[in-house]
Structures are given as structure tokens and as C-alpha cells.
Amino acid sequence: MFDDHLKIMTMLKEAGEVVGRKKLQKMVFIAKKLNFPFQEKYQFHFYGPYSEELTLRIEELCNLGFLQEEKEKVSGYSQYRYSLNEEGDRLASSFGKEIAGLGECVRSMNEQPSRFLELVSTIMFFDKLSKEQVIEKVHIVKAKLKYSDEEIQDAFQYIQALSDMKQ
């Protein structure tokens, strides 16, 4: 059980800090779809793929005193920042396992806006469909976000770039 917590801690150690719950959810989902060893189950939710298991693991890591969660007000809504604290860093350094290729992918994802990662993770969620069907699905399930054809193509290219990084 704690092995899955250590994987999340390893990811956060690589990222340094992740700003936003949604962003963290998308980063773990994308890493899982790239065949990194994350076990969380995901379902499609309002903001794309979502894992209740991940939410609970993050909460447990905060409660155990390994993870720093900072809540801040931004433009009328709450935003959360996540990073390992000193104790979490020590634990991840001692017991965490290196996950080959994860660091570069995580740092790249962390540089992307949440909106873009939402698109990337949505595309990856529907990976069993043809590219044309995925694009059609994105326009339906993410109609309010009005992703342009260029943004969608950028997302497909980014998925390929992440896959190449993992190699």
C-alpha cells in the first residue's frame, strides 16, 4: 500500500512543486498512460480523468506530515500548491525508488498550463478510439473550453514527445 504513496512522493520530488489539484491529477494520469508504474484508477470527470484514489493518497500524505499543501486565493477561487516537506523529502530519498525516465517527463508536464494538460489527458483517456474519433470526442466533452484544431494537434505532438522522452 505505502509503495503507491512513495511513487507519488517520487513524482513530487522530481517536480519540486505542483500548483493545482487538477494539474497534479492530470500529471499522474498522463504518467500512468505512458506506462510509468502508477496504480490509481481513473474515471472521466468534469475536468477530464480524475482519480479518487489519488485524492485520498494526497490527503493521507498531508495528514502523515510528508506533503506540504498550501491553499491560496487566486482571482476568487482557491488554488493548492503541493511539495514534499523536509520529512517527505527524507522519506522519498531513503525509500523511494528511481523511476527511469519519470523526472524529465514530470518536469516537462509541470511546465505546461493545466488547461493544456486537461486536453492531453482527455485525448489519452480516449486512446482506444481513432484520431478522428478522439478529436470529435474532445469537441463534445470539452465544448466549453473551445479547444482549437491547433491546440489539439499540439496536444497529439506533445503526447508523442513525452513518449519519446520516456524511451
| Residue type at position 130 | S
Helix (H, G, I), strand (E, B) or coil at 81: strand
Sheet of 67-74, strand order: 18-19, 77-84, 67-74
d(CA 46, CA 63): 27
pLDDT per residue as tens digits for the range 103-157: 999 999 999 999 999 999 999 999 999 999 999 999 999 999 999 999 999 999 9
d(CA 153, CA 147): 10
Residues pairing with 71 in the sheet? 80
pTM confidence score: 0.95
The confidence band for 95, taking pLDDT boundaries of 50, 70 and 90, is confident
